[in-house]
Structure 1
């Protein structure tokens, strides 16, 4: 297996913020010894407010820039909004596995007992044609509620930076679902949302099943890397890139170290 070779596979996780850590932690459990890079494009956060063209161009630019410094063996687009539009373009430019993150609509529809499910995602994700097609294909027998929220992503972002979760603001975002007593399944269609899953559960006690993509993505990454020969490289420390200067709070630095990252680097991208 590749984990027994001297050269570790380098995997890049890409998101506009820190939501991708919810996916990264699942992959790291299966591949604990891989070389991990994480880029949060905080200069463009949140992607849900950007056009498809901007997201595609930005994602390609950032991934190319990092690949120049660290030869990549796989890229995980740990962002639902970006994944709905950027995967074909990235696969045209990279001859390595490109793994996206999409809402778990199929398993939610299969698991739901009441056939009343909710898709909790960003504004950009809920309006994508790709997501509509998934619902039409896999959830025809379900009532699918949708909430598109930028606020929840911001709450999750602040939580990882060491701030307390604003439960009132969170509850306000979820208000349309609070009285839906037969809503038994919720799809966490943004990688930020698993970071505040416990707080979401407090607001929606009637929901029995929550669906997030991390486990499935981890298995996919493991399978795709099983047969490759990792590229040679000079640096093997796990590293985080960011695209805009910000104040590095102690709690945030401690959290990053907890996740296994020692180095933080500003990635200079020409606007």
Structure 2
């Protein structure tokens, strides 16, 4: 059977991780599962989220027989990694805001963490900053707007009209930041627009590091990646709502290569 990776997120944000994995391991088929019925995760209780995330990923793994799971959601990673690793027999890779990288690269000591309000408010995030960026001034911004704008951008390709107003003051007051960590996997989908509006800021995300970790885990398990001319099974897109199609996500994944098959798992919310 052809090796494959399962990428899980609440929405389209994990597609930024999928792009990095495709860039590093071009022939590894991608199975993408988004819990759009539960989106956004920031409004749900931790206990409910853990149960749902573990159930969805376990069911998908039984159905698809993937070789590795990437939890491409910061909220899901901080809550459910331990439970997923206990439940599944495959490697589970989570995402962590790249605070350590930003702290190592900055020369001014002025860095920012742009994430969801839930991630910004978690003790885990504060501990991460204390451990790796104690010598820096780290300014935090929790933005639900950016999550929704990234989802819309994937469909419309229209730059959010309020993007500049939303971030400019935070980026420059009291002094400009040199590096900003994109602490939600949705945000790199807007990276080109962020770089255009603020070219002097170095925008950092963990996508490339996650791709390298996937390659390492597969190598450690002696899983052979298909050669370029192999008969590849293609990428798959699954979602949990009753929607009949997901054109934005399907088009994005199709641009990464291979033929896309897709469908709904029809897993509505049951709180």
Note the aligned Cα RMSD (angstroms).
2.1
> Does structure 2 conserve the Cα–Cα contact (< 8 Å) formed by 1:178 and 1:203?
no
> Does structure 2 conserve the Cα–Cα contact (< 8 Å) formed by 1:186 and 1:211?
yes
> Does structure 2 conserve the Cα–Cα contact (< 8 Å) formed by 1:162 and 1:252?
no
> Does structure 1 conserve the Cα–Cα contact (< 8 Å) formed by 2:164 and 2:197?
yes
TM-superposed deviation, 1:238: 1.6
Q: How far apart, CA to CA, are the structure 2 residues paired with 1:84 and 1:34?
A: 26
Task: Tell me the matched-pair count.
Answer: 260
Q: How far apart, CA to CA, are the structure 1 residues paired with 2:48 and 2:159?
A: 30
- The residue number in structure 2 matching 1:60 is 54
Q: How far apart, CA to CA, are the structure 1 residues paired with 2:9 and 2:249?
A: 17
TM-score under structure 1 normalisation? 0.89
- The residue number in structure 2 matching 1:240 is 237
- The residue number in structure 2 matching 1:8 is 2
> Does structure 1 conserve the Cα–Cα contact (< 8 Å) formed by 2:235 and 2:260?
yes
Aligned equivalent of 1:69, options 63, 67, 83: 63
Q: Structure 1 269/51 Cα, relative in aligned 2: closer, same or farther at 3 Å?
A: same
2:225 matches 1:225: no
Q: Structure 1 197/33 Cα, relative in aligned 2: closer, same or farther at 3 Å?
A: same
> Does structure 1 conserve the Cα–Cα contact (< 8 Å) formed by 2:241 and 2:267?
no
TM-score under structure 2 normalisation? 0.89
- The residue number in structure 2 matching 1:33 is 27
- The residue number in structure 1 matching 2:89 is 95
- Helix, strand or coil: the match of 1:34? coil
Q: How far apart, CA to CA, are the structure 1 residues paired with 2:172 and 2:208?
A: 30
TM-superposed deviation, 1:176: 3.7
Aligned equivalent of 2:116, options 114, 122, 133: 122
- The residue number in structure 2 matching 1:268 is 266
TM-superposed deviation, 1:197: 1.2
> Does structure 1 conserve the Cα–Cα contact (< 8 Å) formed by 2:99 and 2:128?
yes
> Does structure 2 conserve the Cα–Cα contact (< 8 Å) formed by 1:8 and 1:230?
no
TM-superposed deviation, 1:237: 3.3
Unaligned runs of 5+ in 2: 225-231
Unaligned runs of 5+ in 1: 1-6
Q: How far apart, CA to CA, are the structure 2 residues paired with 1:91 and 1:199?
A: 36
- Helix, strand or coil: the match of 1:132? helix
- Helix, strand or coil: the match of 2:156? coil
Q: Which runs of 4+ in 1 moved over 6 A?
A: none
- The residue number in structure 2 matching 1:44 is 38
Q: How far apart, CA to CA, are the structure 2 residues paired with 1:136 and 1:255?
A: 37
Q: Structure 1 252/216 Cα, relative in aligned 2: closer, same or farther at 3 Å?
A: closer
TM-superposed deviation, 1:65: 1.4
- Helix, strand or coil: the match of 1:194? helix
